Amino acid sequence: MTDISSAPDSLESAVTELLRATGLLLRRLRAESNPSELTWSESMVLGRLERSGWMTAADLARAELVKPQSMGTTLAGLEQQGLVQRRPHPTDGRQVLFGLTDAGAATRRGRALLKHRWIAAAIGRLTPDERRTLIAAAALFKRLAES
Amino acid sequence: MTDISSAPDSLESAVTELLRATGLLLRRLRAESNPSELTWSESMVLGRLERSGWMTAADLARAELVKPQSMGTTLAGLEQQGLVQRRPHPTDGRQVLFGLTDAGAATRRGRALLKHRWIAAAIGRLTPDERRTLIAAAALFKRLAES
DNA sequence: TATTGTTATACTCTATAACTATA
DNA sequence: TATAGTTATAGAGTATAACAATA
């Protein structure tokens, strides 16, 4: 089942095409993004905190598939912008809990998608069937990433 | 048709989910990649040169959706590894054509996908239907990126 | 000894700006 | 003046390594 060598050529080209297309989409998104707005990583963290509530940096790192040190950098940036705040863990003195500030929650509600206005418009132009394909693919991506 | 404000909530969540899932997949791929192998950008350029033959840096940059200076950096790295070579343009002294060396072609044929062994295995574990969804999504990504 | 978090440093990828050479 | 390419610099995103504090 997991033996790639027995897979048909179409699998190899599917992988190649998927990676190439994903890379191109990412570059396009970067080109369309506005430097004055939240970065990609920052948006991901705000969204995670909105959905999951207070979390430690280590848990955030695990959820977002980055190293704790990298998450620390992202959190420091968000903290400096006043979008997340910290509070001590009630029982474990090593841990620090991070959560949204009011400003962070407001940003999340009101402006989180501004950065992705271009992709939202582009997806809006697709047919309902094509949109369904994207939604299904997103679920598959998530499964692949977390498998 | 392109008015986002009239789009249903499901569109907003589709965009959010797609971007989050794509980001997570990318992080997983980076975590699985081997630093001793070709980088993502390098693989993309080798693949492009294999399919399109000799190209100028400017044309490569346009095709790959990056700025010419960025493409110059990537090409310099590939040249230093002996995977691409340059030759002067026959009529325009400003232009330089880039193409694969024998080593570059061999790398492309034999080892280009080693870097993505993990994702190939993961996709191999999907059902045929799920694989079809990914292939369809890849085509949509390409259209979105180049639209 | 293991875990949480921080600091220091480096690498990848890409960008903008300023330059030279050629058209 | 416009285009191709180069060089210098910067920023985002992430990594590894070394450390301090706490469990």
Instruction: Give the model's confidence band at B4: pLDDT under 50 very low, under 70 low, under 90 confident, else very high.
Output: very low
> Nucleotides of chain D within 7 Å of a protein C-beta?
3-8, 12-18, 21-23
Mean pLDDT over residues B4-12, rounded? Answer: 56
* pLDDT above 90: residue B5: no
C-alpha–C-alpha distance, residues A41 and A59, integer Å: 15
- Please name the helix (run of DSSP H) or strand (run of DSSP E) that holds residue B87, with its range, or none: strand B84-88
Surface of A (50-89) touching B: CB under 8 A: 64-66
Which phi and psi angles does A37 have, rounded to 5°?
-100, 180
Best of B4, B65, B108, B119 to substitute, by most chain A Cβ atoms within 10 angstroms, is B65
User: Which among B4, B26, B146 has CB closest to A124?
Assistant: B4
* Helix or strand (DSSP H, E) at B24: helix B9-32
In 3D space, the residue among B82, B44, B91 whose CA is nearest the CA of residue B63 turns out to be B44
Is the per-residue pLDDT at A49 higher than 70? yes
Does B89 have pLDDT greater than 50?
yes
Widest Cα–Cα separation across chain B? 55
CA of B93 to C1' of D1 (A): 18
- Tokens for B6? 């009239």
Summarised one tens digit per residue, pLDDT across range A63-77 is 999 999 999 999 999
What does pTM read for this prediction? 0.88
Distance CA B46, CA B61 (A): 13
CB-proximal positions of chain C, under 7 Å: 3-8, 12-18, 21-23
pLDDT at A20 over 70: yes
Q: What's the start-to-end Cα distance of chain A, in Å?
A: 15
